[in-house]
Amino acid sequence: MKKNKKILFIAGGILLLLLIVLAIKKKNNRDYIKVATETVQIRNIIETISATGKIQPVKDIKITPYISGEVIEIFVKEGDKVKAGDLLVRIDPEIYKSAFEQAEAQLNSQKANLANARAQLAQVEARFKNAETVFNRNKALWEKKVISDADFETAKTNYEIAKADLDAIKQSIKASEFAVNSAEAALRKSREDLNKTAVYAPADGRVSKLSVEKGERVMGASQFSAGTELMRIANLDNMQAVVDVNENDIVKVKLGDTSLIEVDAYLNRKFKGIVTEIATSASTSGVSIDQVTNFQVKIQILRESYLDLIPPDQPEYIPFRPGMSATVDIQTRRRNKVLSVPIQAVTTRQDSTGKVKRSESVSQENEEEKKAVSTTESFKEYVFIYDNGYARMREVKSGIQDNNYIEIVSGLKEGEEVISAPYSAISRQLKNGDRVEKVPKDKLYEVK
């Protein structure tokens, strides 16, 4: 009996000891934070700006008519290749033929009036010379008291009438000349309008878009309207990505920056491009305070980056179509062979210089002073070094970054081990000196 009690007592003591050990181990495990680490390495960092947009031809000409009317003939279809001077569309010319004929008749009428006025000029000049001769002779006789005052006044009146008639016919000739010039100008305009019923290609290219059909009525261009778009002629051999860049990033973009272009039609493929144009004026989208300000950037796609998509037996094949969606990474800055860590390894914390403590020591009565001290707190960048099961907080200074890594300008050495995950712990939970458990990244979130 006593032996059994002794066995039970020993067993109970062992069980209690095991429970105490398990409790201590569990408590210690709760204090450990699971983390993943990476070493500080030398890398090439390329800073990029991402933007989305559409593929468009570098040269895209909108064809609009000069005159209004009904489209009676279309000589091309979408996709056709054309050369400068090729006939594209004809607009009904009948009304413009009538206007031309009327202008031509008006010109002939004005020319006839001018010829008649010039013929009258000869007669009027002859009468004027005769009246002038009679007047001069009678004037001399009148001065010698040979003729009466009445005869002299008659000769003088006839001379003045003849002079007025001469001046009038000269003015009439000038008016006829002006009328002829005006009629000639009207005839030229009528001829131009008649000629413009035929629309020709202004440059070599391909019909990328046909907007009208035979029988439609179109409006001509004017100072108030650009007119009806008939079609577009584009040079599809030179394509570009037209994207919108946010106002915060546009200051980093420069002409000539290299870009990598992803086109939705070609998955897992990137094409190279060069920034060729940066808008100086912004475009906005949205309403009121939610407006987003963007700047348009044009990136020409380098032909050599897609030559493999052009079949050898089809040298004119175009792999891109206007309007295709594209995502562009513009490479704005590059650093070669610099220290780097994963982006998520760097966190921002309040400056630990004691300002927080000073603010806490301010008396409750002086609340305004407390707020003023608190607002002077600054923020700095830190990483956590893995040190044999402990997290050591260290201040660093960062530089540029790409999609995965960030440059470390100061604070770290190559080969040091930094905590890179989980980001929630790095950004908020970890403190200097905390105990951590290093695990592989794929086991970081396993729950036993």
Domain ranges of the chain: 33-45+339-443, 49-55+235-334, 63-92+197-233, 95-195
Angle at 64 between CA 58 and CA 68, to 5 degrees: 180
More confident residue, 128 or 279: 279
Question: Rounded CA gap, 324 and 261, in Å?
Answer: 12
Question: What is the CATH class of 95-195?
Answer: mainly alpha
Q: Is the pLDDT of residue 9 over 70?
A: no
Q: Is the pLDDT of residue 93 over 80?
A: yes
pLDDT score of 292: 79
More confident residue, 151 or 436: 436
**418 closest CA partner among 402, 398, 447:** 398
Question: Rounded CA gap, 303 and 273, in Å?
Answer: 9
Question: How many other CB atoms are found less than 10 A from the CB of residue 131?
Answer: 21
pLDDT score of 10: 66
pLDDT score of 7: 62
Q: What is the mean pLDDT of residues 72-86?
A: 92
Alpha-carbon distances of 167 from 61, 175, 177, rounded to whole Å: 56, 12, 15
Spell out the residues 6+ positions from residue 17 whose beta carbon is closer than 8 angstroms to its own: none
pTM beyond 0.85: no
Q: What residues form DSSP beta bridges with 298?
A: 242, 277
Chain segment 296-351, per-residue pLDDT in tens: 999 999 999 999 999 988 888 889 988 999 999 999 999 999 999 999 999 988 76
Question: Rounded CA gap, 88 and 158, in Å?
Answer: 68
Spell out the residues 6+ positions from residue 223 whose beta carbon is closer than 8 angstroms to its own: none
Q: Please give the DSSP secondary-structure letter assigned to residue 221.
A: P
Q: Strand 33-39 and strand 436-438: pairing?
A: parallel
Helices (H) and strands (E) in the chain, counts: 6, 22
**337 closest CA partner among 44, 41, 7, 33:** 44
Alpha-carbon distances of 414 from 45, 185, 347, rounded to whole Å: 15, 83, 19
CATH number for the domain running over 33-45+339-443 = 2.40.420.20
CATH number for the domain running over 49-55+235-334 = 2.40.30.170
Q: Please give the DSSP secondary-structure letter assigned to residue 309.
A: G
| Torsion angle in degrees (nearest 10) through CA of 377, 379, 383, 384 | 20
Chain segment 407-439, per-residue pLDDT in tens: 999 999 999 999 998 988 888 888 898 999 888
Q: What is the mean pLDDT of residues 397-406?
A: 91
Alpha-carbon distances of 426 from 33, 222, 350, 448, rounded to whole Å: 11, 65, 14, 22
Question: Rounded CA gap, 133 and 144, in Å?
Answer: 17
Q: Could you tell me the two tokens for 171?
A: 């003015």
Domain 63-92+197-233 has CATH 2.40.50.100: yes
Q: Is the pLDDT of residue 1 over 70?
A: no
Q: What letter represents residue 214's amino acid?
A: K
Question: Rounded CA gap, 136 and 128, in Å?
Answer: 12
Q: Is the pLDDT of residue 23 over 70?
A: no
